[in-house]
Amino acid sequence: RERAREILERAEDRDDNRLGVEAMELLDAYGVPTPEGDVVDSPKAAESVAEGIDGPVVMKIVSPDILHKSDIGGVKVGVETEDVYDAYEDLVTRAHNYQPDASITGVQVQEMADLDAGTETIVGLNRDPQFGPMVLFGLGGIFVEVLEDTTVKIAPISEPEATEMIDDIQAAPLLRGARGRTPADLDAVVETLQRLSQLATDFPAILELDVNPLVAGPDGVQAIDLRLTVD
Ligand code: ADP
Ligand code: MG
């Protein structure tokens, strides 16, 4: 909780109230698993992060002015270490081409998540004027906008409430292992929903937060993207 407070206070000190993957530590502080990785501001530094990660990496542009990174070609998946230097420069060029005055924090270099074994879900937090902090759960990734398969509860939520949220969505059978799919680790999903609902409850300064996707795999979950707005 203290670590989370420090991260949020640092954010409030800046004049920008939108944060992205550079705030992933917030999730770590609340015990939500994230892939190994870091945000860096030079191609050399990106290379050294990639050297510390086994196998190819994912690289993402980090900018408060770019909300949907993949829309502008700002996410590169499966980058080999020897290509990391050039990939960094290419990501920055793409961001400049998209919006010449975009402020660029840097590039995130992240361990690859196994999307084949898992399901992309979304966890969202926001604040309702009447009910206060709310937590949202649903199918994530590119499906979230298209299928709108989501459910909402008032935070903080209990374990049975979190389980209910999972069963509320139409994709629940997918997570439970329908049609020979490997079932997702639902205990980990429940725990994550509870932890994030607690985060919303503890910090009224968080106006909005999205983890999209939260990859729900057979052996736990991984939060691979984050976006939030602070007061
Ligand atoms: P944005 O939502 O801003 O476009 P994301 O970080 O969510 O950026 O990345 C977009 C998509 O790229 C994800 O939904 C996922 O399919 C894929 N992706 C991102 N990070 C990883 C990762 N670490 N491992 C595997 N796939 C990833
Ligand atoms: Mg995303």
Task: Give a yes or no: residue 24 inside a domain.
Answer: no
> Does the Cβ of 37 fall within 6 Å of ligand 1?
no
Q: How far apart are CA 58 and CA 68, in angstroms?
A: 15
Least confident window among 7-21, 97-111, 172-186: 7-21
Same domain? For 90 and 179 the reply is: no
Task: Give a yes or no: residue 127 inside a domain.
Answer: yes
Q: Give per-residue pLDDT as tens, 169-220.
A: 999 999 999 888 899 999 999 999 999 999 999 999 999 999 999 999 999 9
Identify the band that residue 142 occupies on the pLDDT scale cut at 50, 70 and 90. Answer: confident
Same domain? For 125 and 104 the reply is: no
Q: Name the residue of 18, 225, 226, 228 to mutate for ligand 1: max ligand atoms within 8 A of Cβ.
A: 225
Q: How far apart are CA 194 and CA 158, in angstroms?
A: 7
Task: Give a yes or no: residue 201 inside a domain.
Answer: yes
> Does the Cβ of 205 fall within 6 Å of ligand 1?
no
Quote the number of domains for the chain. 2
Same domain? For 40 and 137 the reply is: no
Closest by CA position to 206, among listed 131, 122, 133, 130: 133
Q: How far is the CA of 166 from the CAs of 35, 140, 201, 208, in angstroms?
A: 23, 13, 20, 21
In this structure, what CATH number is given to the domain that contains residue 94? 3.30.1490.20
Output the average pLDDT for the chain: 94
Same domain? For 141 and 213 the reply is: yes
Q: Give per-residue pLDDT as tens, 60-101.
A: 999 999 989 999 999 999 999 999 999 999 999 999 999 999
8 Å CB contact between 185 and 217: yes
Q: Which of 45, 77, 112 is the last residue of a domain?
A: 112
Distant-in-sequence, close-in-space partners of 68: CB < 8 Å, separation ≥ 6: none
Pairing of the two strands 150-154 and 37-40:
unpaired
**What pLDDT is attached to residue 231?**
87
b or e along 196-211 (b: 16 or more beta carbons within 10 Å of the residue's beta carbon)? bbbbbbbbeebeebbb
Residue 147 belongs to domain spanning = 119-230
User: What ipTM did this prediction achieve?
Assistant: 0.99
Q: How far apart are CA 20 and CA 67, in angstroms?
A: 8
Residue 68: CB atoms within 10 A of its CB come to 9
Task: Give a yes or no: residue 15 inside a domain.
Answer: no
List beta partners, residue 136. 124, 152
8 Å CB contact between 134 and 157: no
Identify the band that residue 14 occupies on the pLDDT scale cut at 50, 70 and 90. Answer: confident
Same domain? For 164 and 145 the reply is: yes
**What pLDDT is attached to residue 10?**
82
Same domain? For 152 and 214 the reply is: yes
Task: Give a yes or no: residue 5 inside a domain.
Answer: no
Q: Which atom of ligand 1 is nearest to the CA of 57?
A: 23
Length of the chain: 231
Same domain? For 99 and 129 the reply is: no
Q: Taking 90 as the threshold, does the pLDDT of residue 54 lie above it?
A: yes
Helix (H, G, I), strand (E, B) or coil at 100: coil
